[in-house]
Chains A and B, each alone.
Chain A
Amino acid sequence: MSDTHSPDNSQAAAESPAPDAGVHASGPRSDRSDSQIPGAPPMNPYLAGMFLGLTLLASYLILGVGLTASGGFARMGAWLEHKLLPARVETLVSIASWFPAPLSSYLVFMVLGVFAGGLLSALTAGRMRFTVERGPTATCSRRLILTLVGGLLAGFAASLAQGDVLGQGLSGAALLTTGGFVFLGCFLAAGYLAAWAFGRQWK
Chain B
Amino acid sequence: MIATLFSTGQLNAPLGLAVALAVGFCFGLCLEKAGLGSSRRLSGLFLLTDMTLAKVLLSALVTAALGLVAAQRSGLIGLDAFSLISTTLAPQALGGAIFGLGFALAGWCPGTAAVGLGSGRMDALVFLAGVVLGSIVYGEAFPWLAPLASVGGQGVTFLNQTLNATTDQVVLGLTGAAVFAFWVCEVVERGPAIARPGVGRLFLAGFSALLCLGSLVALNLPRVSIPGGQHISGASNIASNNTSGQANGRTTGQNSEQTTGGQNALGVSPEARILADAEAGKGRLEPVELARRLMARDPGLTLVDLRPKAEFDAFHLAGASNISMSQLPEVMADKRGQGLIVLCAAGTTRPAQARDALARLGFDNVVILGGGLQEFFEQVLKPASLRDELFSAEAAAKIQTARQFFLPAELSRPQAPGLLTPPGPLPGLADATWLAQSLNKPGLKVVDLRPAAQYDSGHIPDSLSLVPDNLRGNVGGLPSQLLPGSLLARHLGLMGITPRDLVVLITGRAPQDATLAAMALERLGHSRYVLLKGGMAAWTASSLSTDKALPKVTATRYPAPETADDAPDAFTVNGLEVLTAMTDGKTVIIDASPADAYSGDLPGDGRSGHIPGSVNRPFTEDQAAGPADTVTVRPLDELAKAYAAIIPGKDRPVIVLSRTGRDASQTWWILSRLLGYTNVKYYGAGWAEWASHPEWPAVASPPPAKQDKKS
A residues with a Cβ closer than 8 A to B are: 1-5, 8-9, 21, 24, 35-37, 41-74, 76-78, 80-81, 89-90, 92-100, 104-107, 109-122, 125, 127-135, 143-144, 146-166, 168-195, 198-199, 202
Q: Which residues of A contact B59 (CB under 8 A)?
A: 45-50, 52-53
Q: Is B86 an interface residue (CB 8 A)?
A: yes
Complex CA distance for A37 and B49, rounded to whole angstroms: 14
CB-CB under 8 A from B36, the residues of chain A are 42
Given A174-B65, A176-B160, A131 contacting B120 (CB threshold 8 A): yes
- Say how far B149's CB is from chain A's closest CB, in angstroms: 7
Which residues in chain B, 12-27, are within 8 Å of chain A measured between CB atoms? 12, 16-27
Q: Are B195 and A36 in contact (CB under 8 A)?
A: yes
Does residue B699 face the partner (Cβ distance < 8 Å to A)?
A: no
Q: Which residues of B contact A172 (CB under 8 A)?
A: 85
Tell me if B56 and A49 are in contact (CB < 8 A): yes
**Chain B interface SS verdict (over half):** helix
- A contact patch SS: helix
Residue B133 CB within 8 A of the other chain: yes
Q: Which B-chain residue is minimally distant from A183 (CB atoms)?
A: B96
Contact at B68–A174, with CB atoms within 8 Å?
A: yes
Question: Which chain B residues border A56 with CB–CB below 8 Å?
Answer: 27, 60, 63-64
Least Cβ distance of A171 to chain B in Å?
A: 8
B contact residues, total (Cβ < 8 Å):
156
Question: A residues within 8 A CB of B196?
Answer: 1, 41-42
Say whether A5 contacts B197, CB under 8 Å.
Answer: yes
Q: Is B499 an interface residue (CB 8 A)?
A: no
Extra pairs beyond A48-B31, A118-B114, A155-B135 (11, CB < 8 Å): A37-B195, A44-B199, A67-B27, A74-B139, A111-B24, A118-B119, A147-B127, A150-B104, A171-B64, A189-B97, A190-B98
Name which of B76-84, B379-387, B532-540 contacts chain A. B76-84
Of the residues A46, A95, A191, contact of B45 by C-beta under 8 Å: A191
CB pair A5 B195 closer than 8 Å: yes
Whether, in the assembled complex, B695 has its beta carbon less than 8 Å from a beta carbon of chain A, the answer is no
For the complex of A and B, 9 pairs with smallest distance between CB atoms:
A151-B130, A113-B24, A155-B134, A161-B95, A117-B28, A49-B59, A53-B63, A150-B106, A64-B6
What are 21 A-to-B residue pairs whose CB atoms are below 8 Å? A37-B35, A42-B197, A45-B55, A52-B34, A55-B27, A60-B68, A62-B19, A63-B5, A78-B135, A99-B330, A109-B18, A111-B110, A116-B21, A122-B118, A133-B38, A151-B128, A154-B103, A160-B91, A177-B157, A178-B157, A190-B98
Q: Specify the chain A residue showing the minimal Cβ separation from B83.
A: A65
Contact B138 A155 (CB under 8 A): yes
Contact at B100–A187, with CB atoms within 8 Å? Answer: yes
| B478 located at the interface, meaning its Cβ lies under 8 Å from any Cβ of chain A in the complex | no
- Enumerate chain A residues within 8 angstroms of B106, measured Cβ to Cβ: 146-151, 154
Across the interface, which residues of B come within 8 angstroms of A157, CB to CB?
94-99, 102, 134
Q: Is A117 touching B86 in the complex (CB atoms < 8 A)?
A: no
> Of B56, B65, B95, which one neighbours A45 at CB under 8 angstroms?
B56
| Residue of A68, A100, A119 ringed by the most chain B CB atoms within 10 A | A119
| A1-B198 contact, Cβ under 8 Å, with A164-B111, A170-B57 | yes
Q: Collect the chain A residues with CB atoms within 8 Å of residue B145's CB.
A: 160
Is B671 part of the binding interface, using a Cβ–Cβ cutoff of 8 Å? no
A60–B55 Cα distance when bound, in Å, is 21
* A173 to B, closest residue via Cβ: B61
Instruction: Check A45–B34 contact: CB distance below 8 A.
Output: yes
Contacts of B93 in A (CB 8 A): 182-183, 185-186
Q: Do residues A177 and B40 form an inter-chain contact, with CB atoms below 8 A? A: no
Known: A100-B329, A129-B120, A131-B122. A114 touches B24 (CB 8 A): yes
From known contacts A63-B4, A81-B139, A111-B24, infer whether A168 and B92 are also in contact, taking CB-CB under 8 Å: yes
